[in-house]
Every structure is written in C-alpha cells, then in structure tokens.
Chain A
Amino acid sequence: MFDFLDSGQYDVLGAFWVTVQLTVYSAIGSLVWGTILAAMRVSPVPLMRAFGTAYVNVVRNTPLTVIILAASLGLFQTLGITLAGGGDFEVIGFRLAVLGLVAYHATFVCEALRSGINTVPVGQAEAARAMGLSFLQVLSLVVLPQAFRSVVAPLANVLIALTKNTTVAAAIGVAEAAALMKTMIEYESDAIFLVSAMFAFGFVVLTLPTGMLLGWVSKRVAVKR
C-alpha cells in the first residue's frame, strides 16, 4: 500500500524534521517578542502602548501567507535582505520563514499574556509599586511570573496553531512537510488519500503530545486563587 515510500525518492522524516525546527525556532522567537509586546501594551509610556496596539492589530489581522510571501518576495527577492544567510536559498528561506512566523504568532502570544496579566490582582502591582520597585521590576518579578502560570493552556493553543501554520512556509520554498506533500501529490496522484492521510497523521503526532503535555503542565502550575 505504501510502496511509493520504498522508492527512496521522498524523505518524509527529513521534511517533518524541518517542520519541527521551524516550530521550535519560531516558538522561542514568538515567546520572546510576544512578551516584549505585552510589556509594551501595559507599559506606562503612551508611545509604547500605541506601538504595541498598532503592531498587534495590524499583524494579527494580516494573513500569514501574505506576511511570509512579503518576507520572501519583498525583503529577499526585491531588497536583497538575506538575514546573514549567505547565498544558500535553503538557509535564507528558512530564516525568512522563521521571521514571518515570529512576527505573526508573537501577536497571539502577546494577547494571551495580556489576558494573564489581567488575572493578577491589581493590589499585587500596587503593593510592589509601594515598595519602590520600578515598572520593569514589578512586571518581571511580580506580575509576569503569575501571568505566565495562568496562560499555559492558551499558549499551548498558540504553539499548536504555530506547528500547523509552518506549512505556509512551503509557499516560499522551505522544504518542510507541506512542500513534500505537494511534490508527492504531483507524482503519486493515484495515492492522494494515502499521502494526505500520512501527512495529517504526522501533524497529529507532532501536536497531540504537545497539547497533552502542556495541558498537564497548566494544571500543575496554575495559581489557585
């Protein structure tokens, strides 16, 4: 049934490995950039708040395909920005895809975190301020540690969405799972259902354990109030 896999033409595991790498790098990037955005959105500086709000609303409402294609066709093909990728298309494409994925998913991380910040009683921040802590200290020592613990489950959703959204990188030629699937459908068109089912199963294998693990973690670390 799966005899088309025996030909050795298709490196399915290799393609999924690229998907995993895309996910991991983008997840780390989104978490960092999303936290900074959330800090901006709750900061006392009006300019930063305005930037955070504008960024989140614009990027969140732009389709990911548009962002990724703009990164490749606009930044790279037209402006020649390679993100220190040298001349190797594989590296350049991968880094641009990570850039696009981070830019997009950071907005969802930011909004999840902001909802977490809202669960922390105002009195905590007021007390911290009264002790003479600066805004950054209040945020990093008192508010964010509690906020993160309450938003593990929403962040898990963002991570799962991110895993699946890496398939958009196929549009700019990153050799991940969806790109291989496209090639396989062209050459094994009599086995379309098998090929699709195989890739669908691959993504279930990637996302299901993530969801279960983080669901368990979110129960463990949640702050009981």
Chain B
Amino acid sequence: MTLRKAGFAAATALVLSLTATACGGDSGAGDDKINIGIKFDQPGLGLKTQDGEYTGFDVDVATYVAKELGYDEKDIVWKQAPSAERENMIANGDVKFIVATYTINDERKQRVDFAGPYFLAHQDLLVRADDDTVRTEDDLNSSEMKLCSVTGSTSAQNVNKKFAPKANLINYGGYSECLTGLENKAVDALTTDDSILAGYAAQEEHQGKFKLAGLNLSDEPYGIGLKKGDTELRKQINDALKKMVDEGAWEEAAKKHFGPADYEYEPAPEITETN
C-alpha cells in the first residue's frame, strides 16, 4: 500500500516537473537556434496555421532579420508572444527579439529597447463591405455607433481614454469574436490597427465581406523589441531592416499580406530607434 502511494506521488511529481519545464526548457538552446517572438493569432501579421506553418508580414520581417543575423529559416524557433507578456519574455531572455505588432512607446521603452520602426499602422475601423455610411472621428463618440474591440488592447484603451470616452464599446477576448457580431449587424465596426484589420479582411473566409473605413485615428509605429542595452543587436537589426526596404523585399512582403484587402499601407517608415 505504501509502495503504491509512493509510486503515485513520484509519478505525480514527474508529470508536474515535466509540464513545468516544458515551457522553459528549450529557451536556452545553443547558438545554432534563435528564438523569435511573434503573434500566433493575427492573420496577415503573425499566424500559426492549422498545419503548423507560420505566415504573415511580421513573420517575413523576422525571417529576413534573422537571415541577416546569420540564422537560417530552419534555425528559427517561433515563440508565441501575447501582448501582455512581451516585456517579460524579452527581459527573461526567452526570446532574442519580438516582432509582434509591437507599438513603440515611452512606457515600454523603460523596460525594453526597440529597433525600427519597420511599419507604420493607424488605428482604424473595419465595417461591413455594404455599409456606405461615411464615418468621422466624431461618430465614434456617440452611443449610436456600436464598436467592438479586444479586452486590454491599446485600441480599446485609446477609445475609452482618448478620442471617444462616450463610445458604446464591447470587448471580447479576440478579434474573431467581433467579426461574428459585425457580420450579423450586432456591432457596426471593429476597431484596432489597420494592419490587423486588413489581415482579417484579407482572410480567405472573409474576403469581400468587410472593408476598412480609412480613418487615421492614431499612429502606431511597430518596432522590434529587444533586450534593453543590447546596442549591438539593435544596430544589426536596424541595418537588416534598411537592407530589406532597399532590396524591395519589404514592399513584396507588404503587398503579399495586405494587398488582398485593398489596404493602402504607408511606405516603409524612417528608422528612428537608433543608438
């Protein structure tokens, strides 16, 4: 009886320790691998598809930068970087850098350094394709218009605190939930960065259903987040980004991922985050 109990306890401990190490175990992989943080759930930017492939603009940028740093595509270990965990992932050394719709701002700069920006997005609205109402920024700030966004996101915070405190806003756990309501006319618009919206509109199953309203509500310069004080890496990444734009690979990637949504993205921004 005691033996069985001990065996059971040992098995439990083993399982627990296995699950505990499963997430952190391979972070210290040798020099031949590189860990890069991306979003896994944002079509057009960073998406893990059902067959385990990674696609999107952020993925292309990250792959290009990694190549310039001397890592082959097969040496890249993609890590999921949820918005709230990005600073900690960089600080803990889980990832070398993060390319995940990471807006450069002063609060984040206190904890991480940025390279780039490599893309300039604006907060915008996604509306139904047959919705011809002309929207202005003032429309948002009335309870007439029903808005949808994601709990805890910068876009939701922007609406609440900055340009439309009176807006009628519902927050879900992800943007996909908002699309259900948008399609069924329970909400009038989904709001977040236009790059993200374009990614959803360009998805195969949504093509032709939604369009961007084209409001420039805010500037969101996306940077590549890296460990604070690593000026060497920052310079290397900036050089890689510059080369990517000069070579035309940037334009190609942007056209490939944002093109199907008729999204007029901004040209590659000037790199500002230098040493």
Contacts and interface: CB of A to CB of B under 8 A. Distances in A.
A172 B87 contact: no
A220 B231 CA distance: 69
Given A189-B85, A190-B111, A73 B151 contact: no
A192 B266 CA distance: 35
A89 B172 contact: no
B143 A185 contact: no
A74 to B, nearest CB: 9
A171 interface: yes
B158 to A, nearest CB: 12
Interface residues of B, number: 30
A212 B199 CA distance: 52
Contact of B186 (A69, A76, A175): A76
A89 B146 contact: yes
Contacts of B146: 87, 89
Contact of A190 (B87, B151, B157, B180): B87
Given A77-B186, A183-B157, A187-B157, A93 B87 contact: no
A73 B180 contact: yes
Contacts of A170: 151
A3 interface: no
A14 interface: no
Contacts, number: 69
A9 B152 CA distance: 13
Contacts of B66: none
Interface size class of A (residues with CB under 8 A): 20 to 34
Nearest to B144: A87
Name the residue in A9, A72, A189 with the highest tally of chain B Cβ atoms < 10 Å from its Cβ: A189
A187 B107 contact: yes
Interface of A: 9, 69, 72-73, 76-78, 80, 87-89, 92-93, 170-173, 175, 179, 182-183, 185-187, 189-190, 192
24 contacts: A69-B177, A77-B187, A78-B180, A78-B184, A80-B184, A80-B186, A87-B146, A87-B168, A88-B143, A89-B146, A89-B170, A172-B170, A173-B170, A175-B171, A179-B151, A179-B152, A179-B171, A182-B84, A182-B152, A183-B152, A186-B153, A189-B111, A190-B111, A192-B88
